[in-house]
Structure 1
Amino acid sequence: MRSLFSVTLLLLLALTLTAEATKRGRTHKGGKHDKSKAASECSAAEMQYGKCVPEHGDCGDGLREATCNDRTDKIPCKIPCNWKKDISDCKYKFGPWGPCDAATNTKNRSGTLKRVLFNAECQTTIKVSKPCSSKVKKTRGEKKPN
């Protein structure tokens, strides 16, 4: 019985040490979120960022050039597929959609600048439009007709 307890205790200790070593190894591999390399050479204000260029098509994963002190690195970036390319580095707070304009069959909303990413040039306010929905929205209390 003592030997079984000793073996169990040794196995538990070995698993704990292995898990800790694996965890420590993952955090220092210099992967996607390791910013210590660029931070030691340049401050955020000195760094110049280019536009995010998707690898395939016009959205999805891509690369962005980051330049500082005559050194250019390519860093990973992502353009959401449901977003406009010209404002991808500018984040806006949008109001509700306006009523449908019957002449153009579109509805509009405006947004105010909330945050600028990668030293991008952004407009302080922006207007976006989308086609009107052909379906009539129902409130939560309404039931489907039989």
Structure 2
Amino acid sequence: MRGLFSVTLLLLLALTLSAEAGPGKGKGKHKAGKHAKAASECTPAETEYGKCVPEQGDCGEGLREVTCKGQTNKIQCRIPCNWKKDISDCKYKFGPWGPCDAATNTKSRSGSLKKVLFNADCRDTVSVSKPCSPKVKKTRGEKKSA
């Protein structure tokens, strides 16, 4: 029994040392992004990206075609399952939500273009809206009425 314990301890020590010796995350090695792996020998100007096509439904995980120098590959992508799916390849800086419009029961806000991903066609400004919250937020000093 004592011999089995010693062998197990030595194996555990050897595994620990080999794991420390190998390259780990964040140790100076830059890991390319998902889209850089597919077309690593191409410049961004030579690379054409297709739309993200979800595997099921109209949002979620999917695939995007990447074409470079006549070679087409597919890479993984994701379409958000909320109001952002129309602008998923464009990144915007949004302001605060506006007041609730009682007629439509929605509130809206606008955003200005911050970053374009995958050579997408993006508008300079966008406006989005969402339903108003039915709950009235209470301030910190208020207590629940019983």
| Pairwise same-fold verdict (TM > 0.5) | yes
Using the alignment, how far apart are the partners of 1:131 and 1:9 within structure 2? Answer: 60
Shift of 1:58: 1.0
Paired residues, number: 135
Structure 2 counterpart of 1:79 = 79
SS for the counterpart of 2:76 is strand
TM-score by length of 2: 0.77
- Structure 2 gaps, min length 5: 24-32
- Structure 1 gaps, min length 5: 25-31
Using the alignment, how far apart are the partners of 2:35 and 2:107 within structure 1? Answer: 43
Q: Does residue 104 of structure 1 match 2:69?
A: no
Shift of 1:13: 4.9
Q: Which moved more, 1:43-52 or 1:12-21?
A: 12-21
TM-score by length of 1: 0.77
Using the alignment, how far apart are the partners of 2:35 and 2:126 within structure 1? Answer: 34
Percent of paired sites with the same residue:
74
RMSD over aligned CA atoms reads: 2.9
1:139 aligned partner, one-letter code: T
SS for the counterpart of 2:141 is coil
Structure 2 counterpart of 1:55 = 55
Shift of 1:7: 5.9
Structure 2 counterpart of 1:142 = 142
Post-superposition CA distance 1:98-119 (Å, at most 9, x none): 1111222211111111111111
List aligned pairs for 1:1-146, cutoff 5 A: 10-11=10-11, 13-16=13-16, 18-19=18-19, 33=34, 35-36=36-37, 38-39=39-40, 41-146=41-146
Using the alignment, how far apart are the partners of 1:131 and 1:7 within structure 2? Answer: 64
Using the alignment, how far apart are the partners of 1:34 and 1:16 within structure 2? Answer: 33
Using the alignment, how far apart are the partners of 1:90 and 1:45 within structure 2? Answer: 18
Shift of 1:129: 0.9
